[in-house]
Homo-oligomer: A and B are copies of this chain.
């Protein structure tokens, strides 16, 4: 099923007329290109440039100091030497899950969550299962819980105070994925879970959504007692995060005003979200969604739980109409394609494309719904 989805999406990506609403891509308009080139030039022409050379697995000390400052501003101050720079948030997840979850274990997730985490868990022999409703989490045998407390993916919602408390009281180790945490439209939400339980929270951050994914720079803050293990796994994986990306991010945080960049992005993505939401309400009456508090996407639930050809049938029809998206099954721990749902990303598209994308989904839906 996942293979068939990938084949369709790759085919669609190769066709120029298709509007791509999959993938969670940031807007290329928002890449701070001139600042990147300034940072790069600065990094490359240093004497014996460390950005081009081998370096320690934990990352550059300068960058770790900047990330520590940033974490303090988020209300989750840590010493720089607690921070492990990683090759994006995905590697931070890989390292944390390797340190924490043995093959054959189970991990709690939201009922819909980041597909890259689900795929990683499955490949590593860790079984992702949704949080049991109303059950006492303390009694569970799960190795950990994987959550996005500030801005979830795909729903773009902030975790309720009640859910936070129940999770923290469970005593479970927590993988706290903050990938979209800076992109809450109304500005900073609740502070991270990390300072509430530093002995069992693995905080995962990234600059992929706010600067550029191609940099592949993220970070992991593991509990102190597991820092050494995590560093070893990171080193075995790829020795170190790439030096140019690290130097660029450090330069940006030091000189270019990361806070201003975040303010710009929040307002930009909120406008895009509103455009898509309006288009969906207009073109797809009967489809349900909550307007997101942040992030890059709307999570839409179809008026009926299934359709002709199922989820794959809808995706095929949409691609024929000139639209690709991420089908709901990718986000579910059990991979179920029912009830029918889709994630539509508004982040990388222009307003006219958003309106047209909703029209195309509506045309596809008319073809497959009874």
Q: How far is the CA of A178 from the CA of B55 in the complex (A)?
A: 21
Q: Which residues of A178-237 are within 8 A (CB) of B?
A: 208, 212-216, 232-233, 235-237
Tell me the smallest distance from the CB of A88 to a CB of chain B, in Å.
Answer: 5
Instruction: Contact check, B52 vs A119: say whether CB atoms are below 8 A apart.
Output: no
What residues of B have a CB within 8 angstroms of the CB of A241 in the complex? 216
Decide if A23 is an interface residue (CB 8 Å cutoff). yes
Instruction: Contact check, A240 vs B212: say whether CB atoms are below 8 A apart.
Output: no
Q: How many residues of A contact B (CB 8 A)?
A: 54
Instruction: Contact check, B25 vs A238: say whether CB atoms are below 8 A apart.
Output: no
Instruction: Contact check, B25 vs A54: say whether CB atoms are below 8 A apart.
Output: yes
Instruction: With CB as the reference atom, state the residue of chain B lying closest to A44.
Output: B33
Task: Write the A48-84 contact mask toward B (1 if CB under 8 angstroms, else 0).
Answer: 1111111110000000000000000000000000000
Picked from B54, B123, B212, the residue with its CB within 8 Å of the CB of A23 is B54
* A90 with B239, Cβ < 8 A, contacts A54-B23, A214-B53 known: yes
Instruction: With CB as the reference atom, state the residue of chain B lying closest to A3.
Output: B228
What residues of B have a CB within 8 angstroms of the CB of A88 in the complex? 238-239
Instruction: Contact check, A37 vs B33: say whether CB atoms are below 8 A apart.
Output: no
* A212 with B25, Cβ < 8 A, contacts A33-B44, A233-B123 known: no
Instruction: Contact check, A52 vs B28: say whether CB atoms are below 8 A apart.
Output: yes
What residues of B have a CB within 8 angstroms of the CB of A239 in the complex? 88, 90, 116, 216
* Identical copies in the complex: 2
Decide if A40 is an interface residue (CB 8 Å cutoff). yes
Instruction: With CB as the reference atom, state the residue of chain B lying closest to A24.
Output: B54
Decide if A124 is an interface residue (CB 8 Å cutoff). yes
Chain A binding surface SS class: helix
* A216 with B235, Cβ < 8 A, contacts A28-B52, A54-B23 known: no
Decide if A94 is an interface residue (CB 8 Å cutoff). yes
Instruction: With CB as the reference atom, state the residue of chain B lying closest to A119.
Output: B236
Instruction: With CB as the reference atom, state the residue of chain B lying closest to A43.
Output: B214
Instruction: Contact check, A244 vs B214: say whether CB atoms are below 8 A apart.
Output: yes
Instruction: With CB as the reference atom, state the residue of chain B lying closest to A97.
Output: B236
Decide if A243 is an interface residue (CB 8 Å cutoff). yes
* A237 with B94, Cβ < 8 A, contacts A54-B213, A212-B53, A242-B215 known: yes
Interchain Cβ contacts under 8 Å between A and B, 21 examples: A24-B54, A28-B52, A31-B44, A33-B45, A33-B49, A33-B52, A36-B44, A37-B40, A37-B44, A40-B40, A40-B44, A52-B212, A53-B212, A87-B237, A90-B239, A116-B239, A124-B236, A214-B242, A216-B238, A216-B243, A244-B244
